[in-house]
Amino acid sequence: MDKRVSLVQMETGKRGKIVEIQGGAGMSLRLENLGIRVGEEVEKLSQQAMRGPVVVTIGKSQVAIGFGMATRVLVEMPEEVVDESSSNG
């Protein structure tokens, strides 16, 4: 079983696949323009303390996402973490 978490709950340094964006069309479009789409794979780079923004790597770019927005992007992470030797880049 895979577990579903938001970008905020996700641990720093982990990878996951975006499965749902809980927001209106406007927010989805903004996210989509920077490549945050359902089906894409993201890696969480950092999160600032006290409800600070999340930074993720998606494709070849890094995107900073405000706390509230990040809580509404849900990702699915493989339960067993065997990455580091992953084949894709």
Partner 1 sequence: MKVLLMGNPNVGKSVVFSRLTGIHVIASNYPGTTVEFTKGVMHLPEELGLSGETAEVIDVPGVYSLEPTSRAEEVAVEMLKEGDVVINVVNATNLERSLNLTLQLLKKKIPLIIALNLWDETGHTGIKIDVKKLEQILGVSCIPTCALTGEGFKELVSKIKEVKPGEYDYEEKERWHEVGNIIAQVEQVIHRHHKFRERVADASISFRTGIPIALLVLFAAFAVIRFIGEGLIGYVFEPFFENLWAPLMLKVSNLLGSDGVIHDILIGKLAEGKIDFGESFGLLTTGLFVEFGAVLPYVFAFYLILSFLEDSGYLPRLAVVVDNIFHRVGLHGMAIIPIMLGFGCNVPGILSIRILETKRERFIAATLMSIAVPCMAKTAMIIALIGKHGVLGLTMVFGTLLVVWVCLGILLNRVMKGESMEIFFEIPPYRLPCFRLLVKKIWMRFIWFLKEATPWLLFGVFIANILYTLGIIDFLGRYTAPVIAGILGLPKETAGALLIGLLRKDVAVGMLILLDLTFHQMVVACVVLSMYFPCVASFSILLKELGIVAMLKSAAIMIIFTLLVGGILNLVISNLLTNY
Cα angle for residues 31, 34, 37 (degrees, 5° grid): 55
Among 20, 22, 48, 83, binds partner 1 (CB under 8 A): 48
Please, which residue, 9 or 79, has the CB nearer to partner 1? Answer: 9
Q: Residue 21, interface with partner 1 (CB under 8 A)?
A: no
Provide the sign of the torsion angle of the four alpha carbons 73, 74, 76, 79, taken in this order: positive
Question: Which SS3 state, helix, strand or coil, does residue 40 take?
Answer: coil
Q: Residue 30, interface with partner 1 (CB under 8 A)?
A: yes
Residues of the shown chain interacting with partner 1 in the complex, contacts defined by CB under 8 A: 12, 26, 29-35, 37, 45-53, 55, 59-69, 89
